[in-house]
Amino acid sequence: MKDFPLLPPTDAADFPSTGAESVTWDLTQLFSDAAALQATLDRSTETAAGFAEAYRDRVAELDAAGLADAMQALGALQDDIGKAYTYAYLAWSTDTADPARGAQLQKVREAYTAISTQLLFFDLEWTRVPDEVAAALLADARLAFCRHHLEVARLQKPYMLSEPEEKILIEKSNTGRSAWNRFFDETVSDMRFVVDGKPLTQQQVLARLHDADRDKRRVAAQAFTDGLKGNLRSLTFIFNTILADKALDDRLRGYPSWISSRNISNEVADEDVEALIQAVQDGYPHVQRFYRIKQRLLGIDTMTEYDRYAPIGEANRHIDWETAREMVLSSYTEFHPEMGAITERFFEENWIDAALGEAKRGGAFSHGCVPSAHPYILMNYTGKIRDVQTLAHELGHGVHQYLSREQGIFHADTPLTTAETASVFGEMLVFQRLMKAETDPKNRLAMLMGKIDDSIATVFRQVSMNRFENRIHGERRSKGELSAEDLSAAWMDTQRPMFGDSVALSENYGVWWSYIPHFLHTPGYVYAYAFGELLVLALYQRYQESGPGFADQYLDLLRSGGKDWPHVLVGSLGVDLRDPAFWAGGVAAIGALVDEAEALAARI
């Protein structure tokens, strides 16, 4: 594969060398070349045809042994095609402007769709198996490797269409929602935001919002707004199209609300999600109190949207890649040696791509790939303290995905609600280790303020974004196509309750909904971040109470992947996800951090 071009230095003072410029992943571990990829696609296509010939119209007749054989064959096929999809997507993510990579991704997507269409019959036939017969089959030990997967599949029974209808929806996805999502990603990756005459990528301009210099933050915020406004027509159309596409899917399938399909996928009851959202909204005063503290510490008259992530004191220091690696690796190793050993492999075996790239996808993610391979992490490392927390976050995902591979293709993945557990826990480990080592009260306050910043972004901001999604999905269905002004009004109306009068939101902030990919890629996703953060607060409290033995229990939880219902798996550690008071307790814990910051600020 060719070397990925790095951005020319735009401002050495803002973006000094980090040591991550050469940190790129090695995708030849998945496929050595295009010929190997094509061979897998050809083999998978042939295997899918053979599977369909062997099992179509026979699923209801299978005994436990026969169903186990079918699921083993299906799992091997899904592992193969999943590996191909991962390779194409990761290659495209590091250079979204390369036509060859875009074409390769589209080819794999089309092959994946064709295979999915051939295999569609299996899930449809399985959901039609009578409940008593299915229960007897699932009780057989030979199906333990796929039992929960088959249980969850049956939850979709009321919302599944006929096979011809399902085929049409799958076939059209490549020219529908998937195509618009790719267009959104490429549009945003191609955008440049001009600061002092220099074009910056999204990652670079957003990094300036974490700068200690208020003028730099203000100029960056204006440049970001101007860049979004210059693309607002296209972004608004993309949003409208995907909102309409989801509304159509939900109507055809009969889902009672826009969030129903996400909650089913997350294996969580609607009422539990509502309890979470209400508890977080009830905690908005903690957010407002925090920003008033931050305003005093920054010494400014009014907090604005571009002051929210301003660092306090030492939190603004530049951190090179090796230092970040040591911070995370030592924190993970101290918690559990096995966790540290797995983490080290990500660095040593080139499973991370951290360099800034000309057309690289923004943000960060950990891709679990498939059980026969290993996870890969993408991030854009700029040397900010937040980047260290991002590294800790994604490596938490990576460790989780690595350990859960032993569950096999059907249970390796977890619902989004518990998928964020390991990532947020990893951030907490790094934060607490740094706090223990720091004795200077000013530095401790700086670190504590940074941690609360992250908690607000992970819990309260995500729920406010859930409220934005709730509104725009509802309005798109009741009013029709939404204008940019409609979307901006919905954004501001759902953001203001969180900030109250603690942050003065300008008109510019009204368009900042338009760059957030989760709204399009995974509608309804964002509340999972709040779910994960509040769950981690409970787990970390258990860790402090239980001592060293907790680490083994925690790794066992990660190894479990998605082999059972989330409340059952987490319940083994003494946490009751179905108790509404649980969420209020997590929010109160964040309030206690604000109390601590307030007291420390007063002493200093």
- Asked if residue 120 and residue 217 are part of one domain, the reply reads no
Rounded CA separation 166/573 (Å) = 40
Assess if residue 20 is contained within a domain.
no
Q: Domain boundary at 471, 505, 521, which?
A: 521
Q: Is residue 194 within a helix (H) or strand (E), and if so which, with residue range?
A: strand 193-195
Angle between helical axes of 232-253 and 214-230 (0-180°, round to 10)? 70
Residue 501's closest CA among 252, 288, 249? 288
Structure-block tokens of residue 431:
């934060």
Number of residues assigned to the chain: 604
**Contacts for 276 with CB less than 8 Å, ≥ 6 apart:** 463, 527, 530, 531, 534, 583
Relative to beta strand 365-367, strand 376-378 is antiparallel
Residues 117 and 37 in one domain: yes
What CATH number is associated with residue 44?
1.20.140.70
What pLDDT sits at residue 349? Answer: 97
pLDDT at 10: 37
Same domain, 195 and 293: yes
Identify the domain boundary among 466, 488, 521.
Answer: 521
pLDDT score for 171: 83
Task: Report how far residue 210's alpha carbon sits from residue 437's, in angstroms, rounded to the nearest whole number.
Answer: 24
pTM: 0.81
- Under 8 Å between Cβ of 524 and 262: yes
Q: Please check whether residues 193 and 170 belong to one and the same domain.
A: no
Indicate whether 413 and 551 sit together in one domain.
yes
Residue 564 backbone dihedrals phi, psi, to 5 degrees: -150, 175
Task: Tell me, rounded to whole angstroms, the distance of Cα 283 from its chain centroid.
Answer: 23
The whole domain housing 357 covers 315-420+527-586
With helix as H, strand as E and coil as C, how does 258-311 read?
CCHHHHHHCCCCHHHHHHHHHHHHHCHHHHHHHHHHHHHHHCCCCCEHHHCCCC
Identify the pLDDT of residue 575: 87
Residues 63 and 160 in one domain: yes
Q: Residue 156 contacts by C-beta under 8 Å, 6 or more apart in sequence?
A: 123, 127, 264
Do 387 and 536 contact (CB within 8 A), yes or no?
Answer: no
What was the pLDDT predicted at 1?
29
pLDDT of residue 167: 85
* Contact in structure between 365 and 295 (CB atoms under 8 Å): no
Residue 22 covered by a domain: no
Same domain, 199 and 302: yes
Cβ neighbours of residue 301 closer than 8 Å, sequence gap 6 or more: none
Contacts of 394 (CB under 8 A, 6+ apart): 364, 365, 366, 377, 378, 379, 423
Clarify whether residues 412 and 474 are in a common domain: no
Helices (H) and strands (E) in the chain, counts: 26, 5
CATH assignment of the domain containing 243: 1.10.1370.20
Residues 129 and 211 placed together within one structural domain of the fold: no
- Show the tokens assigned to 380: 């854009």
Is residue 223 domain-shared with residue 352, that is, in the same domain?
no
Beta bridge partners of 198: 195
Residue 46 lies in a domain: yes
Whether 40 maps to a domain, the answer reads yes
Same domain assignment for residues 88 and 209? no
Pairing relationship of beta strands 198-200 and 365-367 according to DSSP bridges: unpaired
In this structure, the answer to whether residues 356 and 255 fall within a common structural domain is no
Asked whether residue 397 is assigned to any structural domain, the reply reads: yes
Collapse the DSSP code of 87 into the 3-class scheme (helix H, G, I; strand E, B; otherwise coil) and give the result.
helix
Contact by Cβ (8 Å): 47, 236: no
CB distance 392 to 454 below 8 Å: no
User: Can you give the pLDDT at residue 440?
Assistant: 83
What pLDDT shows up at residue 21?
94
Cα 21 from Cα 356, distance rounded (Å): 7
**Residue of 342, 489, 336, 355 lying closest to 402 (CA atoms):** 342
Distance CA 409, CA 464 (A): 34
Query: Would 602 be classed as within a structural domain?
Result: no
Q: In the prediction, which pLDDT does 548 show?
A: 76
pLDDT under 70: residue ranges of the chain? 1-15, 314-317
Whole-number average pLDDT of the chain: 92
- Residue 360 sits in a domain of what CATH number? 1.10.1370.40
Answer whether residue 437 is part of any domain: no
What is the residue-wise DSSP string for 469-503?
HHHHHHHHHHH-SPPHHHHHHHHHHHHHHHHTTSS
Number of domains in the chain: 3
pLDDT in tens, 74-128: 999 999 999 999 999 999 999 999 999 999 999 999 999 999 999 999 999 999 9
Q: Final residue of a domain: which of 521, 537, 567?
A: 521
Cα separation, 395 vs 115, whole angstroms: 32
Q: Under a CB-based contact definition with an 8 Å cutoff, are residues 428 and 550 in contact?
A: no
Indicate whether 506 belongs to any domain.
yes
**Which residues have CB under 8 Å from 576's CB, separation 6+?**
567, 582
Beta bridge partners of 366: 377
pLDDT in the model for residue 315 = 47
Tell me if 325 sits within 8 A of 354, measured CB to CB.
Answer: no
